[in-house]
Amino acid sequence: MRHIFVTGGVVSSLGKGLTAASIGALLECWGLRVSLQKLDPYLNVDPGTMSPFQHGEVYVLDDGAETDLDLGHYERFTHARLTRRNSVSAGQIYETILRRERRGDFLGQTVQVIPHVTDEIKDRLHRAEEDGVDVAIVELGGTAGDMEGMPFLEALRQFALDVGRANVLFAHVALLPYLRMADEVKTKPAQQSVATLRALGIQPDLLLCRTEKHLTGEIRKKLSLFCNVPAAGVIQELDVTSIYAVPALLHGEGVDRFILDSFSLEAGPCDLSPWERVREMESRRRRQLAIALVGKYIDLQDAYKSVYEALEHGALACGCRLDVVRVDSEILTGDSVLGLLKDCAGILVPGGFGNRGIDGKLLAIRHARERGIPFLGICLGMQLAVVEFARHRAGLDGAHSTEFDPATPHPVIAPMEDQKNLANLGGSMRLGSYPCRIAPRSLLHRAYGRDEVRERHRHRYEFNGAYRERLLDSGLAIGGTHPGGLVEAVEVEDHPWFVGVQFHPEFQSKPHRPHPLFRDFVAAALRR
């Protein structure tokens, strides 16, 4: 198996994840099978307890692993099936080693970064290998020179030595800043970043230059000379208006051909048509549509990354351009709701935890329900839709989720363990993929066109089955249920398009295959 290690330099947030995903997409266009893995140097075991303000969204896999958002890029761009083996943190590494040390596995040895930490990292790389995979792409989080990333870089150096340098390619993503006052693209930061890697025993084979200006032949020669990278391996990775343009951009720069030649891989012919179709769909869009996303993490783009991408996929399928209006639920009041939402053809309330901004989300949901505005509620958004309906349609004054009001007289949303009449799925959270049986003639059935689907979950509160009949009598409809009886989706009978789902459909949407709920939500907003 061949391995590509993607590192980053100069600054963070350069798009290493998108670059890794795009390389994977390109190799698939050549008919190769790829796997992708993320190494994160932080000491958290996983991002599950990290604030979205700090780390962006928590991306959930089928097996329930809570992972970095870059794994979302991997799944959206490729056909790779990811599991918890594809997400490795320093926290996991040290936790494993310390547990083994306490057990006596090291037989009295002094436990050290080398060889014990590096060996565990290498073992995780091997464990993620799959039969039939031609190229494994591994992204290292952080920036070259970060203290916490040093053991990982040393492990990658050793890994290349172990499996043979001919089977490993190092791709380094570095910033080439443009100084406007000097009207010049500066190469020194990238040179210093590569020098840091070379001092650690790693020589990049590919240098992917993140830049807002085209690189001249002179700059490419300079980078090739001072970074000891072949001229064909100096790649300009320009800013683009759509992330789905990156595979074609890298193909135009010859990245895929360079990789195939470096590994002496026979493949092809290259079929870029899937990505060409996406770009064609983007260029054909004419009508503009405003959708409100009402949440409390709107100041950070990455906090709802998969939701934004799934909305974009739905817009592509419907041939329109989206203007996503980000509405801070913490400032939404009864006086401001009309003004902030008046021009929006659809309203989406995403998932989340904690009681900040809850009242604003309830106001937005009521606005959508009473005015016939298409609505999509995801996880917490679905739970609050039930709360709002219970209060203002079913006459259950004070109805709430016990997450926010443990003393509520009507706990229409409650923890799983409180629901004695329903199947106990165990644990404090429902994580990962679960089946959902879809009700006939429901909006869900119209969207999926199937009687049963599997969707990914991340929550610990559920629709309280004790209130099921009371809410159904008031006009709520159950769109989908878990085989054990848990409610997975709700709808409002006398509304054009109002859907709340307990799961996270955004995690299974791709540009080539938009999720049916996002597609139909955007389509409903267009009809309004």
| Residue 349 near residue 377 (C-beta atoms within 8 A) | yes
- Helical H runs in 353-442? 358-370, 380-392
Give the amino acid at 376: L
For tokens 């494993």, name the residue.
96
If 0-12 CB within 10 Å is exposed, 13-18 middle and 19+ buried, where does residue 216 land? exposed
Distance from C-alpha of 461 to C-alpha of 384, rounded to nearest angstrom: 11
Distance from C-alpha of 226 to C-alpha of 1, rounded to nearest angstrom: 30
Q: Both 115 and 216 in a single domain?
A: yes
**pLDDT tens readout for residues 281-326:** 998 888 999 999 999 988 888 999 999 999 999 999 999 999 999 9
Q: Does residue 350 carry a pLDDT above 50? A: yes
Q: Both 261 and 378 in a single domain?
A: no
The C-alpha torsion from 5 through 8 and 9 to 15, rounded to 10°, is: 150
Q: Return the DSSP state at 113.
A: I
Tokens of 26: 């390109």
Q: Which of 236, 252, 277 is the last residue of a domain?
A: 277
Distance from C-alpha of 117 to C-alpha of 61, rounded to nearest angstrom: 26
The count of C-alpha atoms lying within 13 angstroms of the C-alpha of 474, restricted to the half-sphere facing its C-beta, is 16
The SS3 assignment for 38 reads strand
Q: Both 273 and 290 in a single domain?
A: no
Q: Both 310 and 216 in a single domain?
A: no
Q: Both 201 and 242 in a single domain?
A: yes
At 83, which CATH number?
3.40.50.300
Catalytic residues: 379, 504, 506
Number of domains in the chain: 2
Q: Pairing state of beta strands 287-295 and 346-349?
A: parallel
The alpha carbon of 3 is separated from its chain's Cα centroid by a whole number of angstroms, namely: 23
Buried b (16+ CB within 10 A) or exposed e, 260-273: bebbeeebeebebe
Q: Pairing state of beta strands 135-140 and 2-9?
A: parallel
Tokens of 452: 């049963």
Give the mean model confidence (pLDDT) for residues 505-522.
Answer: 97
Q: Which of 223, 243, 277 is the last residue of a domain?
A: 277
Q: Pairing state of beta strands 287-295 and 320-328?
A: parallel
Predicted pLDDT at 417: 61
Q: Both 337 and 264 in a single domain?
A: no
Distance from C-alpha of 326 to C-alpha of 311, rounded to nearest angstrom: 13
Q: Which residues contact 121 (CB under 8 A, 6 or more apart)?
A: 39, 88, 93, 151, 152, 155
Q: Both 257 and 377 in a single domain?
A: no
Give the amino acid at 496: P
**Nearest Cα to 288, choosing from 519, 447, 513, 522?**
522
Q: Pairing state of beta strands 375-378 and 400-401?
A: unpaired
Q: Which of 237, 257, 277 is the last residue of a domain?
A: 277
Q: Both 272 and 371 in a single domain?
A: no
Q: Both 246 and 296 in a single domain?
A: no
Reported confidence tier of residue 56, pLDDT bands at 50, 70, 90 = confident
The count of C-alpha atoms lying within 13 angstroms of the C-alpha of 118, restricted to the half-sphere facing its C-beta, is 16
At 423, which CATH number?
3.40.50.880
Predicted pLDDT at 418: 53
Question: Is residue 19 within a helix (H) or strand (E), and if so which, with residue range?
Answer: helix 16-29
**Nearest Cα to 120, choosing from 142, 150, 88?**
88
Tokens of 105: 């596995």
Distance from C-alpha of 504 to C-alpha of 67, rounded to nearest angstrom: 14
Angle, in degrees to the nearest 10, between helices 70-77 and 305-318? 30
| Residue 196 near residue 205 (C-beta atoms within 8 A) | no
Q: Does residue 420 carry a pLDDT above 50? A: no
**pLDDT tens readout for residues 455-487:** 999 999 999 999 999 999 999 999 999 999 999
**Nearest Cα to 282, choosing from 336, 323, 328, 318?**
318
The C-alpha torsion from 267 through 270 and 272 to 273, rounded to 10°, is: -110
Reported confidence tier of residue 425, pLDDT bands at 50, 70, 90 = very low
Reported confidence tier of residue 13, pLDDT bands at 50, 70, 90 = confident
Round the CA-based radius of gyration of the chain to a whole number and report it: 25
Reduced 3-state DSSP string for 150-216: HHHHHHHHHHHHHHCHHHEEEEEEEECCEECCCCEECCHHHHHHHHHHHHCCCCCCEEEEEECCCCC
**Nearest Cα to 142, choosing from 56, 17, 250?**
17
Predicted pLDDT at 428: 74
**Domain span holding position 145:** 2-277
Total-model pTM? 0.93
Q: Both 125 and 159 in a single domain?
A: yes
Q: Both 219 and 360 in a single domain?
A: no
Q: Both 270 and 304 in a single domain?
A: no
**pLDDT tens readout for residues 379-401:** 999 999 999 999 999 999 999 99
- Helical H runs in 255-336? 255-263, 273-284, 305-318
If 0-12 CB within 10 Å is exposed, 13-18 middle and 19+ buried, where does residue 200 land? middle
Reported confidence tier of residue 422, pLDDT bands at 50, 70, 90 = very low
**pLDDT tens readout for residues 83-93:** 999 999 999 99
Q: Does residue 427 carry a pLDDT above 70? A: no
Beta bridge partners of 137: 4, 36
| Residue 156 near residue 10 (C-beta atoms within 8 A) | no
**Nearest Cα to 215, choosing from 202, 201, 229, 195?**
229
Average pLDDT, the chain: 94
